[in-house]
C-alpha cells in the first residue's frame, strides 16, 4: 500500500510538471538553501529549515536528502560481516498556496534497523512521512492539519541525517520512543521572536498507539511496534485521541530548552459499543536541550525521555510499566576553512553517549530492580565539504544487560563496530 501510494504521487508530480521539465533551463532553478542548514531558530522550525530548489515562477519547491553507509558490527563475537546499506532517500515538496497558507510533504524510502546496530532490517519501506497544510492567522496562532510529526522531544522533529555526525539514529529515540512518529491529526502552534529570545508552543490531537506496544515480537513494552500498523492512518485503535504538546524557550546565546508531553489511551477497550477492557494509557515526558559554546564553537545536543504504560495485571515482568533513556551529542570543529576546492569546509571530532532502560520496574516477589538496559558510546570524525554534506566515520562500543542484570554475551564481549557513511541534502 505504501509503495503504491508513493508511485501514484510521483507519477502525478512528474506529469503535472512535464511541460516545464521538457524545456527546463538550469538558470530557472533557484536555491532557497540557507548558508548553513545547521543554523536554525527552534527545533519546531526544522521542518521548513531545509534547502529547497524553486523552479522558475512555479509555486512548488523541491528538495531532499539521502544516506548511505558501510558497517561492520559484531555482537557477542557474532558478526554479519561487511554490510553496505542504503538507509534513506527523502523527497520534500513544498508550496506556498497563498499568503499565510503553506503546504509541505516528505516522501521517504527507508531501509534502516531503526537505530539498533547489528539488528536486521525489516525490509525497505516507502511512505509519506509528512504532509500537512499550515494556515497562519497570526505568528502566535497557526492551524496545522494533515499527516504531522508529533512534537515529542527534539529528534522527532529534527531528524534529517545530514545534520548529524553519526550514521545511526539515537537508540532511545528509535527503540524506546517510536521516532520518526507521524500521525494524521490537527493542531495549533505559535512562535514569537524578540531580540535574542525565542518562544514556541505546539498542541496537536492525532491518531496514536495500539495494543501492539504490549503485544509484539520483541517480547517487551515496545512503542515502535505501533508504527507497523497502516490502519492508524485512517482509524484509531482506541477511538481516543493522542494528545501531544510542547513548549520551547530559546536564546541564541544560551541555547534551546524544550519540554514536551504525549499521551492517551492506546488499547482497544470497546468493540461495537460493548466494553471489552479497561482504558489503558501511555504517557511520555521528554526534555531536550541544545546549545553552542561560542568561544570554541562546540555544539551540544541532548534529549531524555520517560515512558509510562498501563499494563494488564496478568502481564509477565518482561513487560515494563516504566522506561527511560536518552542521548547526548558533543561536536567539536577542529579545522574550518578552505580544504581542496571547498571554501567552507569543516572537520569535526564528535562523541555520542547513549543510555536506554526498557524496564524500570521491580520484581513483585522480591522487590529487586529489573533491568534490560543498554549503554553505548560512539566517537566520530566527520568531514563537511559544505554544511549540507557530511562524510562520517564512527566507532561504537555498546553493552547491554538482561532483565536480571546479567551482561548479555559477557563471555564473548559486547557490541563493537565501525561504520562509515555519507549523507547529503540535494
Arithmetic mean of pLDDT over the chain: 87
Span 355-370, average pLDDT = 89
Look at residue 410 in the predicted model and tell me its pLDDT: 53
pLDDT band for position 409 (cuts 50, 70, 90): low
Number of H helices, E strands in the chain: 3, 21
For the chain, give percent helix, strand, coil, nearest 5.
10, 50, 35
Question: How do residues 203-228 score in pLDDT, each as one tens digit?
Answer: 999 999 999 999 999 999 999 999 98
Look at residue 40 in the predicted model and tell me its pLDDT: 52
φ, ψ dihedrals at 15, nearest 5°: -75, -25
Span 399-413, average pLDDT = 75
Q: What is the CA radius of gyration of the chain?
A: 22
- The DSSP-derived string for 20-52 is HHHT--GGGEEE---S-TT--S-GGGTTT-S--
* Whether residue 79 has pLDDT greater than 90: no
Look at residue 328 in the predicted model and tell me its pLDDT: 98
Look at residue 182 in the predicted model and tell me its pLDDT: 95
Q: Which of 57-61, 67-71, 286-290, 357-361 has the weakest average pLDDT? A: 57-61
Look at residue 231 in the predicted model and tell me its pLDDT: 86
Cell, residue 333 = 570543529
Cell, residue 287 = 526534555
Look at residue 119 in the predicted model and tell me its pLDDT: 46
Cell, residue 227 = 508504527
Which residue is listed with cell 523541491?
62
Q: Strand, coil or helix: what is 212?
A: helix
* Whether residue 6 has pLDDT greater than 70: no
* Whether residue 78 has pLDDT greater than 90: no
Q: Which residues lie closer than 8 Å to 201 by C-beta, 6 or more apart?
A: 189, 190, 245, 246, 247, 248
Q: Which residues lie closer than 8 Å to 172 by C-beta, 6 or more apart?
A: 303, 304, 305, 325, 326, 327, 354, 355, 356
Question: How do residues 12-28 score in pLDDT, each as one tens digit?
Answer: 343 343 343 333 344 43
Q: Which residues pair with 106 in a beta bridge?
A: 92, 130
Look at residue 31 in the predicted model and tell me its pLDDT: 53
Q: Which of 28-37, 132-141, 175-184, 390-399 has the weakest average pLDDT? A: 28-37
Q: Is the dihedral of CA 40, 45, 46, 50 positive or negative?
A: negative
pLDDT band for position 113 (cuts 50, 70, 90): low
pLDDT band for position 415 (cuts 50, 70, 90): confident
pLDDT band for position 32 (cuts 50, 70, 90): low
Span 241-252, average pLDDT = 96
Cell, residue 63 = 528538495
Question: How do residues 124-161 score in pLDDT, each as one tens digit?
Answer: 788 899 999 999 999 999 999 999 999 999 999 999 99
Question: How do residues 297-309 score in pLDDT, each as one tens digit?
Answer: 999 999 999 999 9
Amino acid at each position: 500500500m505504501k509503495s503504491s501510494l508513493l508511485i501514484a504521487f510521483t507519477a502525478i508530480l512528474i506529469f503535472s510538471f512535464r511541460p516545464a521539465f521538457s524545456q527546463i533551463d538550469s538558470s530557472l532553478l533557484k536555491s532557497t538553501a540557507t548558508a548553513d542548514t545547521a543554523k536554525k531558530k527552534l527545533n519546531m522550525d526544522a521542518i521548513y529549515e531545509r534547502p529547497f530548489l524553486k523552479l522558475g515562477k512555479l509555486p512548488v519547491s523541491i528538495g531532499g536528502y539521502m544516506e548511505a553507509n558501510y558497517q561492520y558490527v559484531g555482537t557477542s563475537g557474532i558478526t554479519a560481516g561487511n554490510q553496505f546499506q542504503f538507509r534513506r532517500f527523502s523527497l520534500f515538496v513544498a508550496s506556498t498556496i497563498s499568503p499565510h497558507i503553506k503546504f509541505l510533504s516528505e516522501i521517504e524510502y527507508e531501509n534502516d534497523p531503526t537505530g539498533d546496530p547489528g539488528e536486521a532490517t525489516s525490509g525497505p519501506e516507502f511512505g509519506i512521512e509528512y504532509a500537512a497544510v499550515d494556515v497562519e492567522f497570526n505568528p502566535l496562532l497557526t492551524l496545522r492539519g494533515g499527516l504531522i510529526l508529533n512534537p515529542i522531544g527534539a529528534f522527532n522533529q529534527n531528524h534529517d541525517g545530514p545534520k548529524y555526525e553519526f550514521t545511526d539514529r539515537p537508540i532511545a529515540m528509535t527503540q524506546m520512543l517510536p521516532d520518526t512518529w507521524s500521525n494524521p491529526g490537527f493542531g495549533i502552534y505559535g512562535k514569537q521572536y524578540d531580540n535574542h529570545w525565542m518562544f514556541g508552543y505546539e498542541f496537536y490531537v492525532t491518531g496514536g498507539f495500539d495494543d501492539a506496544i504490549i503485544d509484539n515480537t520483541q517480547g517487551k513494552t515496545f512503542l515502535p511496534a505501533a508504527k507497523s500498523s497502516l490502519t492508524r492512518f485512517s482509524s484509531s485503535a482506541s477511538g481516543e485521541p493522542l494528545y501531544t504538546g510542547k513548549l520551547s524557550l530559546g536564546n541564541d546565546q544560551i541555547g534551546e530548552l524544550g519540554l514536551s508531553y504525549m499521551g492517551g489511551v492506546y488499547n482497544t477497550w470497546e468493540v461495537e459499543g460493548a466494553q471489552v477492557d479497561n482504558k489503558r494509557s501511555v504517557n511520555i515526558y521528554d526534555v531536550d536541550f541544545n546549545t553552542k559554546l561560542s568561544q570554541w564553537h562546540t555544539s551540544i545536543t541532548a534529549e531524555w525521555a520517560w515512558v509510562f504504560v498501563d499494563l494488564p495485571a496478568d502481564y509477565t515482568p518482561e513487560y515494563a510499566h516504566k522506561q527511560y533513556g536518552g542521548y547526548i551529542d558533543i561536536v567539536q570543529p577542529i579545522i574550518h576553512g578552505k580544504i581542496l576546492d571547498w571554501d567552507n569546509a569543516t572537520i569535526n571530532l564528535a562523541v555520542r553517549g547513549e543510555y536506554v532502560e526498557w524496564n524500570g520496574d521491580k520484581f513483585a516477589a522480591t522487590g529487586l530492580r529489573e533491568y534490560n538496559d543498554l549503554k553505548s558510546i560512539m566517537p566520530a570524525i566527520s568531514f563537511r565539504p559544505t554544511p549540507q554534506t557530511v562524510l562520517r566515520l564512527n566507532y561504537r562500543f555498546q553493552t547491554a544487560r538482561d532483565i536480571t542484570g546479567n551482561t548479555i554475551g559477557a563471555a564473548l564481549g559486547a557490541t563493537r563496530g565501525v561504520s562509515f557513511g555519507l549523507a547529503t541534502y540535494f
